[in-house]
Amino acid sequence: MTYREAIRAGLREALRSDPRVFLMGEDVGRYGGAYACSRGLLEEFGPERVRDTPLSESTFVGAGIGAALGGMRPIVEVMTVNFSLLALDQVVNNAATLRHMSGGQFSIPLAVRMATGGGRQLAAQHSHSLEGWYAHIPGIKVLTPATVADAKGMLLAALQDPDPVFIFEHAMLYPMEGELDEDAGAADISQARVRRQGNDVTLITFGGSLPKTLEAAEQLASLEIEAEVVDARVLRPLDISTFLTSVAKTHRVVIVDEAWRTGSFAAEISAQIMEQGFDHLDAPVARICAAEVPMPYAKHLEEAALPQVGIIVKTVQGL
């Protein structure tokens, strides 16, 4: 099954099992979704449950918050992460704060999905990796599924959560194939996952950088360097304990993050490791991030701007 098919399976299961669930967003209905994740759902569930919206993110994200307050379980799809900036008022001042400001009286069981990341030659306006921005906000959860199983399982888990959950789906992962247990339900959205065991260096990453990091670990193994790959998966709340357990074993860390280096989420992970696991480190924490430029359109320049397998291998060798 592909990553996009796993998302579609999760959407279908949610719509079938709970009448409160509905999907809305730009092109999710008649077009079948910008990335074909909702193809066929309009025909199966009808326009009340699968709703095409106007091109107004502030409006339909706000409507999703209102529907959640009213007892529904909305799934809001924002076409790409840069468009979500138009709804930041609704996210920061409403979705993230209403439980706190109501003294716990109101909950907002809202799931927001959006495509993120570069690599598709969509240039500077559609290639952002802003997951770390959202992870800065108390009151929401931030998920970055990087496997086929997590693509479905994290969506189902988000719909069980009483608070807003933001799911960042790296667009380069949609055609990726993987195994999925048909009976698999909601995923655990409280912990990171060790995707590969190793003793020499810890590689921490998430989202679209996980396949590159695993490939780098394979190349390092041929050089007799055994890398442990940790998939952060959940950026808020962050599972620092899994990172520290790995660092205590390997004593070296490289963090791979597709965002710009300055103010990146990699910096947050690095700081927490320095604060809580400094005595385990035999070298400074290393970070591999995107070049600090608007994402180029030209393919060779885009590839040069993004973290790649080769730089991961060279960085580890440098440690």
Phi-psi map region of 210: left, alpha, beta (phi>0 left; psi -120 to 50 alpha): alpha
pLDDT recorded at residue 302:
97
Q: Note if 57 is an active site residue.
A: yes
- Of 77, 126, 128, 169, catalytic: 126
Torsion of CA 244, 185, 3, 117, to 10 degrees: -40
Domain of residue 217: give its range: 193-318
Q: Render pLDDT for 74-83 as a digit per residue (tens, 0 to 9).
A: 999 999 999 9
pLDDT recorded at residue 184:
86
- Of 57, 77, 169, 258, catalytic: 57
Encoded amino acid at 298, one letter: A
pLDDT band at 145 (very low <50, low <70, confident <90, very high): very high
pLDDT recorded at residue 217:
98
- Looking at the structure, tell me whether residues 151 and 203 fall in a common domain: no
Residue 186 domain-assigned (yes or no)? no
Q: Render pLDDT for 43-76 as a digit per residue (tens, 0 to 9).
A: 999 999 999 999 999 999 999 999 999 999 999 9
Helix residue ranges per DSSP H, the chain: 3-17, 41-45, 57-69, 88-90, 98-101, 131-135, 148-160, 210-222, 240-250, 265-277, 299-305, 309-318
Residue 180 domain-assigned (yes or no)? no
- Looking at the structure, tell me whether residues 160 and 249 fall in a common domain: no
Of 161, 166, 178, the closest CA to residue 6 belongs to: 178
Q: Render pLDDT for 131-143 as a digit per residue (tens, 0 to 9).
A: 999 999 999 999 9
pLDDT band at 161 (very low <50, low <70, confident <90, very high): very high
Please say if the pLDDT value at position 288 is more than 90: yes
CATH number for 14: 3.40.50.970
- Looking at the structure, tell me whether residues 160 and 199 fall in a common domain: no
Average pLDDT over residues 216-224: 98
Please say if the pLDDT value at position 182 is more than 90: no
**pTM beyond 0.95, yes or no:** yes
